[in-house]
Structure 1
Amino acid sequence: MIEQVPTSVLCDEHCHLGEGPTYDPATDTAWWFDIREAKLFEAHLGSGALRIHNLGRMASALGRIDAERQLIVAEDGLYIRRIADGAMTLYRPLEADNPRTRSNDSRVHPSGTFWIGTMGKKAEPLSGAIYALHRGEISTLYPGVTIPNSICFSPDGATGYFADTGRNELFSVALDPATGLPRGEPKLLVRHRGIGGIDGSVVDADGLIWNARWGGGCVDVYSPQGELLRSLRVPALQSSCPAFVGPGLSHLLVTSAWQDMDEAARAADPQAGCTFLLEASAHGRAEPDVKLA
């Protein structure tokens, strides 16, 4: 059964491909992207103020460096962005010589290491990869991924998770908590069958995995052992990625998309691409800052 929890629309701008939400508790600000339209959204939850920044390149995720700077994951590399004026400076190129790929799902490990996913712009099979930015250097963790998603980490940093949406499989892997780098081989945790596919995920303070199910219009909650515990309705079919936000980090921000929907599909799914707030009674946790060299 899919639960219906109190839900509101945080932003009614219809994102082509909403993705990469994160939240800064210090400023009560949520951030997310429209990858396809090269936009960064900034929403102050307390006041409802919303700003949309045009980036000039496709980008999919960010990590907070400090109160003044963010690290933006973009189609051609990693950029340091000044929050005050939006100025962006290239920090490290990544697949900049391959115009067929772009960045996708990414998240910061508790140690400050940043895991970054890339994929083909047309989801070409096996054309993506998962990388780690650790101490200023980028290394390849997992090549040959079709659609990297669900990059997230246990609260103690000892376990990492990632998915290949192309295979509809979620994996877990043992990590060194001090570095965020793998200690062993990935193990299959969940193979999703039925409606929709595994998309973006985040882990709460209890170690539960909250996964947006693309094409399923919901967020599924899994135990660290891969047991499905609950599912929460999202009012857009292509729900893409969650983030814990608000007082106590108990609410869930969920992005969505209208990508690949024709006119009839969009008419049947009128809130496709909107960004939602779910009163999920979650026991969330804040995202760590990314550490540079």
Structure 2
Amino acid sequence: MTDIVPFTGQTLCQVKSELGEGPSYDPATDTAWWFDIKGRKLHELHLSSSTKRVHDLPLMGSAIATIDPSRQLIASDDGLFVRDTNSGKLEHFAAIEDKPGNRSNDGRVHASGALWIGTMGYDAEKDAGAIYHVAGSTVTRLFSNITIPNSICFSPDGATAYFTDTTVNDLMRVAVDPATGLPTGAPEVLSEQKGYPGGIDGSVCDADGLIWNARWGTGTIDVYRPDGMMVQRYAVPATQASCPAFIGATADRLLVTSAWQGMGEKARAADPEAGRTFELGIAVKGRFEPAFRL
């Protein structure tokens, strides 16, 4: 583990999410989006004006992707939905799996326009989840027996996918077809993190191929090279950092969600920023998320 660079950023949202997750950014509208999964909320922040809205949801959303200027794809505990950005209306698009005790968790869109989405038990039951590939309405299971799927992201050339099961805490990589986002080989361990504090949570991959990971339990954003070497650690003012996303007109800023899930009264008092959403405060070489292709 490397030394931790002190936090020099800012708080983007004072609202404390029980489980802040799934951030994304739409450059066409200069808007950042993220969820409070447990609170059934969708947060919307227009960056240049600092205009903030919170949308109530009838489901537990966890990942969001742009389809076109008027539609978004939302992954949830009840499957995949298309959301109208003007009215907020949700239309069921596809089922992910037939497990009533499961919900969606981490996910991102590959350059091909296909979505990778992980599922897990509501109470993180052992091996209850999986990771799926969604191309249009075709859903394909990729990896089974996963407890907490996280860290899904892709290399800039679209030829490598990264993921983890946070309970195992190995950062994994697998070769994928750049044209489809489907695996072309078997997963292998990129960085073994067993025995180290905290857990590998959400990640995003920058234009240089660096993997920016939110490490749950340590209040850090950790940066890995494509060979698995950790090269930098940045402090986040909340212990349970959950997921990063590149934001801004040139994707040169990093948003980080966090959570107060599982904290008792004393723990929350000792971690007063828990659940807030931050900007890391450094310049990054980010990339915009691809649109999901119907």
Shorter-chain TM-score tier: over 0.9
**Residue 145 in 1 paired to residue 146 in 2?**
yes
Name the residue aligned to 1:273. 275
Contact map agreement 2:7 2:236 (CA 8 A) in 1: no
Deviations 1:9-65 (A, max 9, x none): 110111000000000111110000000011000000111110000111101001110
Unaligned runs of 5+ in 2: none
Name the residue aligned to 1:186. 187
Name the residue aligned to 2:241. 239
Name the residue aligned to 1:159. 160
TM-fit CA distance, 1:5: 4.2
Which of 19, 22, 46 is the equivalent residue of 1:20?
22
How many corresponding residue pairs? 291
Name the residue aligned to 1:53. 55
Contact map agreement 1:10 1:276 (CA 8 A) in 2: yes
Q: Distance in 1 between matches of 2:256 and 2:124?
A: 22
**What percent identity do the matched residue pairs reach?**
56
Which of 195, 209, 212 is the equivalent residue of 1:210?
212
Name the residue aligned to 2:108. 107
Name the residue aligned to 1:32. 34
Name the residue aligned to 1:134. 135
TM-fit CA distance, 1:136: 2.4
Contact map agreement 2:84 2:90 (CA 8 A) in 1: yes
Contact map agreement 2:7 2:237 (CA 8 A) in 1: no
Alignment root-mean-square deviation, CA: 0.8
Contact map agreement 1:5 1:280 (CA 8 A) in 2: no
User: Given the two structures, how large is their TM-score scaled by the length of structure 2?
Assistant: 0.98
Contact map agreement 1:250 1:279 (CA 8 A) in 2: no
Amino acid at match of 2:237: P
Q: Secondary structure at the match of 2:250?
A: helix
Q: Runs (4+) of structure 1 moved beyond 2 Å? A: none
Q: Distance in 2 between matches of 1:11 and 1:237?
A: 16
TM-fit CA distance, 1:190: 1.1
Deviations 1:131-158 (A, max 9, x none): 0001320010001101000000001100
Name the residue aligned to 2:89. 87
Q: Distance in 2 between matches of 1:187 and 1:282?
A: 27
User: Given the two structures, how large is their TM-score scaled by the length of structure 1?
Assistant: 0.98
Q: Distance in 1 between matches of 2:178 and 2:21?
A: 26
Deviations 1:113-141 (A, max 9, x none): 10010001100000000000013200100
Q: Secondary structure at the match of 2:153?
A: strand
